[in-house]
Structure 1
């Protein structure tokens, strides 16, 4: 019960921050998340609604990183373990406690892909002022990798372009 209360409070604070940012003219640029060992930034215009972990029905003959499908607010969404997909590896085995603390971030409906990505932790909103430096994406990385940012504490953050990800052929090819 306390986890649900904490999520409600976090979502309420996040909504209040978005509202105050709109009113003050300061615009947050990214949703900061952790997926596996990576710190990632999703452009806010690409991210959709955030959901608590829910039952995901597995789908046979799919890659390990494709966890299955879930009913998210009445819509059927494919669920991708983002850490496993980015690392091109097997799905990460998470305990029930870890799953209860993880979140599903739906892609913006304008991207026309009924998909949500599993992230381990939400880290809030970030603006450009939260970062000391940035560098362009390495040319050898997949096209959905955006610039890398270093925050004021020296931590590295990788932007993930969810629009490019949603059109990336390996991401769309869930079958083995």
Structure 2
């Protein structure tokens, strides 16, 4: 990550936390055993897993490319990218497409979609221990389960994410 991108990523993360995210709907998903929240303002579409065309000489988390109505997307196994735990693709999996960032859209594989919720339903946990730049915060729900808020703008700026080739 360049000297310019790191401060920008930190500013984006801080802004996400400071703005009134509580009124923004979030998509609840699972990746491995973890629960994640993604602001719906970062997602353009959610769809079943389409046919995946493998791309050779890429990172293990890069599953290949998919065709969505004539548009080609690179598909990332987000669980494998973040935690090195591959997602077994089945009927419950979904792919979500990101809002274009710098002219590019991305496709991410979710283990399971748990539905759209309001962030006001969750209690922020101060001083969370997950220091990954893609974690904008940690929350608890009414059942005392932990949820991580995914910072998609920070993710799609990480050099390790942008370098899918092996």
Q: TM class, shorter-chain normalised? A: 0.7 to 0.9
Structure 2 distance, partners of 1:122, 1:28, is 17
Corresponding residue pairs, total: 145
| Residues 136 and 146, structure 1, Cα contact 8 Å, conserved in 2 | no
3-state SS in 1 of match to 2:124: strand
Pair 1:149-2:139 in alignment: yes
Which structure is richer in relative contact order (CA contacts within 8 A, separation 6 or more)?
Answer: 2
After TM superposition, the runs of 4+ consecutive aligned structure 1 residues lying more than 4 A away are none
Gaps of at least 5 residues in structure 1 are 1-25
Pair 1:91-2:82 in alignment: no
| Distance of aligned partners of 1:137 and 1:71 in 2 relative to their CA distance in 1, 3 Å threshold | farther
TM-score by length of 2: 0.79
3-state SS in 2 of match to 1:174: coil
| Residues 32 and 85, structure 2, Cα contact 8 Å, conserved in 1 | no
Judging by fraction of residues, say which structure has more helix.
Answer: 1
| Residues 61 and 86, structure 2, Cα contact 8 Å, conserved in 1 | yes
Pair 1:73-2:63 in alignment: no
| Distance of aligned partners of 1:47 and 1:135 in 2 relative to their CA distance in 1, 3 Å threshold | farther
Pair 1:171-2:157 in alignment: no
What does residue 104 of structure 1 align with? 95
| Distance of aligned partners of 1:41 and 1:111 in 2 relative to their CA distance in 1, 3 Å threshold | farther
- 1:37 Cα shift? 1.2
Deviates more, 1:108-117 or 1:39-48: 108-117
- 1:83 Cα shift? 0.6
